[in-house]
Amino acid sequence: MKKFGYTGRVYALFISILMLSCMMLSACDSNGSITMNGANVSGNGGKGCTKVGILLPDTTSSDRWESKDHPLLVQAIKAAIPDVQIDYNNAQGSSDTQFSQAQEDLARGDCILVVAPHDSVGAAPIVALAKAHNVPVIAYDRLIQSQSLNYYVSFDNVAVGQLQAQYIAAHYPQYMQGGKANTVMINGSQTDTNALLFSTGSHNVLDPLFANGSLQYASEVFTPDWNNNTALAEMEAFLTDRHNDIQIAYTANDGMANSVITALKAVKLNGKVLVTGQDATTDGIHNILTGDQGMTVYKPIAKLAQSTGDLVKVLYNGSNITTLTKNVTAGTFDGGNIPSILDTPIIVDRNNIATTVIADKFITKKDVCDGIPAGTANVC
Amino acid sequence: MAITKIASPSPRKISLTVRVSVILILAVVIPLIITVIGSELILRPTLLAQAEAQMGTDAQSHAQTIDALLIARVQDVVSIGHFLAIQKFLEGDEVYRLQALNELTLGNRLDPNYSNWALFDVHGSARLAYPILPPPRGKYMVAPDIMQKLNGANKSLISDVYFDTQTQTAFIDIYTSITTTNGTLLGFGRSTLKLNDIWTAVNNETNAAQGSYAMILDGHGVRVAYTNDDPVHLPPALFKPIAPISRELQQRIRDENLYGASNAGINVLADQDLAAQQNNLQGPATFQLTPALQKEPFQAYRATSKVVPWTYLVLRPVNTITGPANQQDLYLFLLAALVTLLAAIVGVIVGRGISQPILGAVSSLLTSSQMLKTLADHEQVMATEQMWIVESSQNGLQSVKYYSEATGIAAHRLENIGKELAQNLNKMDAQRMRQLLHEIQVAAKYIEKATTHQERSSKSLTTAIQVTNQVTGQLAANATSTTDAAAQLEEVIGRLRQIVGK
């Protein structure tokens, strides 16, 4: 074995220290970041797509999202694309979460996104991101305020507000006290375009009544995030301000209506104030059967889901969507005209529960009648 | 055996200890230098890129937030503009006045930054407002160009920025056209939105990094929001364009009282670099410049709004961005100094560890060399002495030989004289006798003289023998010294082998 001489040892020492120093210094490296280029997946406009992302907004504003929309959408999309892989997400009331979920879906290669936005404006970046991937976005039930949005499937939301208001217009005399029908209006979230459309629809019907004095406009609010607890506080404040002199409570959905009824029960006014609702939830139907709520709007979610499934199938096949949209569009703030499928909502009161939500198996009769006295409304 | 004299190398001027120290220092400092260079070439650009990304996220998120806010506020006006009572009121049905006012009130409550909601007829005259009839915008209630743009169904727009000098509040007007269901223009709805939240967001930019600030430029290049940490005074750059504006715009600013300018118009605070960048909005979103009122280079990132022609600019001092690199350089230099010191100390220790045995060996070699030199001197002296002894001995021997021969000649002469006397004693005359006697005396004297010389030669030889004995003793002593020197050399070789290996 060759042994080093003096010079060799010195150079070996030099190199060793050099290497050691380099190793030490490399350990002192700054916090360099590793950039990974995300897969630039081409969604191909949804054609031939077998991976679909479903993004729903929350679990608190209404139980419909998890109990109805989620399973029905999965069922409809699986029927549309037999071998489809579905990525389901619920944003739990956060626009940021929803955006992150959309990013993850796109990273996984989802090529069609069905998005019920938590926030109509806040969800616009999802559309922009999907567009960059050539992935079509279907705004489900709630419009996304972006001219880049591809499709919109919902109900005729102005008509929803009109149905609610028409019920008030038809029934307010039964609730008048002292010749007055003081009316409060608890709208949905102002960041939800649908809530604004419901409000527009309701005002289209109620404003003439307010103007001619048939109804007395007491107060009106929009309820952030459709929060039921907020709605409860709002109704309590109205009752306090008006010394309980309220006869009509236009309430945008069943969840908030249930809160309004809770506030009314506290002052023993439940059943004496006309309360409206929407979504035909089990609680809403119960409240109708007990007389605490006058009506709800049944938006056959199965129909909405089916329309979405139909649209997904057309996209998968690369067919022409005008057979579905029939040239109906919805406008966005930035001048967009979004091809839309707008299904017709159905009013439900104690007279047609059996022929609507029960007949459609939207809610089972057992659930409808749970805790309700037999013979109520000829349903139970 | 032939001995080749090797030319000795000239001694180095730098000691081995110093050389080892220098090598160690270089071994440590070179990587540090490489790192510093790497820092300049890699870390600084990386830090700038990271800061750009962070600033980009910041600017884009702010621009998106502004967009979302303005979209929502536009939706408010558009939606409430669709309410039936408002349409009916603008159609001229006074029955709807109260309800229309209720709906304006509702609209005004949708955002705490709303300060006024108003309805105008198609000529721009105010018909209804909440909470009060708004003051005119300069010469107009609704500027003619705004009415022109709103002439149609479902039209909406956001105005340029106004400034209320009384309340020190910036605001914008959001307009929507109000039409019948068949599209006939009935008038305009307008909400007035204070920019407090947007200004707060711009002010909060100072939290992003030291020295960081932000501004918003509107479509005319006017700074309509500018980071301000002075609770009393407005920032000097606020409501000043970054480049000269046209006379027409200046007139419009006066006419419409934009930016709180009134009759005075607005002054330019030129920023040529920024203006050049703004003239090329398709250019890079990030760039460096030394902004107006600043004395150092800033990294800027801009994000444009999709709703209004505004540009949100985030600016951060380059020094702040590259601060970690500067700090790292400082640490590296400190580290280099420390490590250099350590390396020097280690070098001295290691160098001494290596050089001391060598120096010891050199010292031993020097001693041996001196010993050998002394021995050589002794040998030379002894050689001279020996030469002298040999020469003396030769002379002695020659003298002995000469005197032996002379003695022999003298003895032979005496023998011949004896024979002659024996044979001719009786025949010899007295003269002859005297002559022979004289010859006998001469021979005897010669012999005596030769004997004396022989004694002297013997003494010389004796002396030579004595000297020879002495030289022999010295040679023996020298041999011992040589052995010692050889032993010392072996020891030196052993030491050197310990250092350099076999």
Q: What is the pLDDT of residues B69-78, one digit of tens each?
A: 998 899 899 9
Mean pLDDT of B8-30: 72
Determine the pLDDT at residue A19. Answer: 55
Residue B371 has pLDDT above 50, yes or no: yes
CB contacts, 8 Å: B32 with chain A? 21, 25
pLDDT, residue B412, reads: 86
Contact predicate A279/A297, CB 8 Å: yes
pLDDT tens sequence across B176-211: 999 988 889 999 999 999 999 999 999 988 887 888
Q: In this complex, which of B35, B47, B84 lies closest to A208 when CB atoms are compared? A: B84
Instruction: Indicate if A253 and A178 belong to the same structural domain.
Output: yes
* Short-list B109, B184, B110, B185, CA closest to B147: B185
For A125, which residue in chain B has the nearest alpha carbon?
Answer: B64
- pLDDT, tens digit, 9 for 90 and up, residues B216-234: 999 999 999 999 988 888 9
Tell me what pLDDT residue A97 has.
Answer: 94
Residue B392 lies in a domain: yes
Chain A nearest CA to B31, separation (Å): 6
**Which residues neighbour B365 within 8 Å (Cβ) at sequence distance 6 or greater?**
B488, B489, B492
Q: With contacts defined as CB-CB under 8 Å, which chain B residues touch A333?
A: 71, 74-75, 78, 156
Q: Give the C-alpha separation, B225 to B203, whole Å.
A: 9
Amino acid B86: pLDDT = 97
Regarding whether A270 and A173 lie in a shared domain, the answer is yes
Residue numbers in A near B349 (CB within 8 A): none
The predicted pLDDT at position A33 comes to 30
Which pLDDT band, with edges at 50, 70 and 90, does A6 fall under?
Answer: low
Sign of CA dihedral B304, B305, B311, B316: negative
Mean pLDDT for all residues in chain B: 85
- Which tens digit of pLDDT belongs to each residue from B77-90? 999 999 999 999 99
Q: Does A190 touch chain B (CB under 8 A)?
A: yes
Residues A261 and A308 in one domain: no
Same domain, A203 and A148: no
Q: Is B200 contained in some domain?
A: no
pLDDT score at B490: 81
Q: A residues 313-332 near B, CB within 8 Å? A: 331
Q: What is the pLDDT of residue A201?
A: 97
Q: What is the DSSP letter of B7?
A: P
pLDDT higher than 80, residue A7: no
Question: What is the Cα–Cα distance from A197 to A188, expressed in whole angstroms?
Answer: 10
DSSP B83: S
Tens digit of each residue's pLDDT (9 = 90 or more) over A153-177: 999 999 999 999 999 999 999 999 9
- Same domain assignment for residues A234 and A324: no
| Most confident region among A19-23, A203-207, B9-13 by mean pLDDT | A203-207
| Average confidence (pLDDT) over B299-320 | 90
Q: Which of A14, A122, A207 sits opposite B99 (nearest CB)?
A: A207
- Judged by DSSP in three states, B327 sits in helix
Q: Which of B176, B194, B212 is the last residue of a domain?
A: B194
Residue A129, chain B, CB below 8 Å: the answer is no
B84: contact with A, CB 8 A cutoff: yes
**Do A207 and A116 reside in the same domain of the chain?**
no
Higher local confidence (pLDDT), B208 or A213: A213
CATH of the domain at B92: 3.30.450.20
Residue A207 and residue B50: Cβ atoms within 8 Å?
A: no
Span of A76-80, B220-224, B392-396 with lowest mean pLDDT: B392-396
Residue B175: name the closest of B194, B199, B157 by CA: B157
Cβ neighbors of B187 (< 8 A, separation 6 or more) are B90, B119, B120, B121, B122, B127, B178
Domain count across chain A: 2
Contact list in A for residue B71 (CB cut-off 8 A) is: 121, 124, 145, 333-334
Q: Same structural domain for residues A49 and A147?
A: yes
Q: Which residues pair with B223 in a beta bridge?
A: B217
| B407 or A288: which leads in pLDDT | A288
Out of A35-49, A191-205, A206-220, A356-370, pick the least confident.
Answer: A35-49
Complete DSSP assignment for B408-430: HHHHHHHHHHHHHHHHHTTT--H
Domain, as residue range, for B169: 82-194
Q: Is residue B317 part of a domain?
A: no
Closest approach of A308 to chain B, Cα-based (Å): 26
- Compare A75 and B334 and report the one with higher pLDDT: A75
- Name the residue facing A121 among B32, B71, B78 (closest C-beta): B71
Do A164 and A151 fall within a single domain? Answer: no
Any domain includes A92? yes
Alpha-carbon dihedral A265, A271, A274, A278, rounded to 10 degrees = 80
Q: Would A216 be classed as within a structural domain?
A: yes
Does B154 fall in a domain? Answer: yes
- Residue B467: CATH number of its domain: 1.10.287
Predicted pLDDT at B11: 57
In the listed set A240, A274, A308, which residue is the last one of a domain according to the structure? A274
Instruction: Decide if A315 is inside a domain.
Output: yes
* pLDDT tens-digit readout, A324-350: 999 899 888 777 889 999 999 999 999
- Structure tokens of B193? 């939105």
CA distance B131 to chain A (A): 16
Report CA torsion sign: B401, B404, B407, B413: negative
| Amino acid type, B43 | L
B318 within domain boundaries: no
Task: Say if residue A104 is in the same domain as residue A137.
Answer: yes
Distance between first and last Cα of chain B: 26
Kindly state the tokens that stand for B463: 């002396």
Q: Tokens standing for B150?
A: 């709103």
Nearest to B84 among A15, A191, A204 (CB): A204
Q: Give percent helix, percent strand, percent coil of chain B, each to the nearest 5.
A: 60, 15, 25
Query: Is the model's pLDDT at A373 over the cut of 70?
Result: yes
Q: Which residues 359-418 in chain B show a CB within 8 A of chain A?
A: none
Instruction: Indicate whether A370 belongs to any domain.
Output: no
Residues of A in contact with B501 (CB under 8 A): 3-6
Q: How far is A201 from chain B (nearest CA, A)?
A: 8
Residue among A202, A196, A159, A198 at smallest CA distance from A183: A202
ipTM entry: 0.77
* Average predicted confidence (pLDDT) for chain A: 89
* B71–A contact, CB cutoff 8 A: yes
Q: In the 8-state DSSP scheme, what is residue A143?
A: -
Q: What is the C-alpha to C-alpha distance for residues B74 and B172, in angstroms, rounded to an integer?
A: 11
At which residue do the structure tokens 């020197």 appear?
B485
Give the best residue of A127, A203, A222 to mutate against chain B (max B CB count within 10 A): A203
User: A179 — contact with chain B (CB < 8 Å)?
Assistant: no
- Selection from A43, A146, A56 nearest residue A97 by Cα: A56
Whether A280 and A51 have beta carbons less than 8 Å apart is answered as no
B47-60 b/e (C-beta count within 10 Å ≥ 16 → b): bbebbbebbbebbb
pLDDT tens-digit readout, A12-43: 555 555 555 544 444 444 333 323 333 444 77
Q: For helices B323-424 and B44-81, give the axis angle rounded to 10 degrees.
A: 170
Please report whether residue B299 resides in a domain: no
Q: How many structural domains does chain B have? A: 2
Task: Provide CB contacts within 8 A for B422, sequence distance 6+.
Answer: none
| Interval B399-422 mean pLDDT | 82
Query: Does the beta-carbon distance from A331 to B154 stay under 8 Å?
Result: yes
Q: Which of B145, B162, B194 corresponds to the end of one domain?
A: B194
Query: Cα(B120)–Cα(B277) distance, rounded to whole angstroms?
Result: 39
Kindly indicate the confidence band of residue A369, based on its pLDDT and cuts at 50, 70 and 90: very high
For residue A363, give how far its alpha carbon lies from the nearest alpha carbon of chain B (Å): 33
Does B43 contact A at CB distance below 8 Å?
yes
Whole-prediction pTM: 0.70
Is B31 in CB contact (< 8 Å) with chain A?
Answer: yes
Whether B377 maps to a domain, the answer reads yes
Average pLDDT (B348-368) is: 77
Residue A246: left (phi > 0), alpha (psi -120 to 50), or beta?
beta
Q: Is B222 helix (H, G, I), strand (E, B) or coil?
A: strand
Contact B27 A21 (CB under 8 A): yes
pLDDT digits (tens, 9 = 90+) for A239-270: 999 999 999 999 999 999 999 999 999 999 99
Residues sharing a CB contact under 8 Å with residue A297, sequence separation 6 or more, in sequence order: A160, A163, A164, A277, A278, A279, A280, A345, A346, A347, A348
The domain boundary, picked from B172, B194, B216, lies at: B194
Å between A56 CA and nearest CA of chain B: 20
The two three-digit tokens of residue A244, written as one number: 């309980």
* pLDDT on residue A42: 72
**Average pLDDT of the residues in B419-438:** 83
> Does one domain contain both A98 and A167?
no
CATH number for the domain including A112?
3.40.50.2300
Query: Is position B60 within any domain?
Result: no
Longest C-alpha distance within chain B, in Å? 214
Same domain, A111 and A62: yes
> By three-state DSSP, how is residue B186 classified?
strand
Domain extent for A198: 159-274
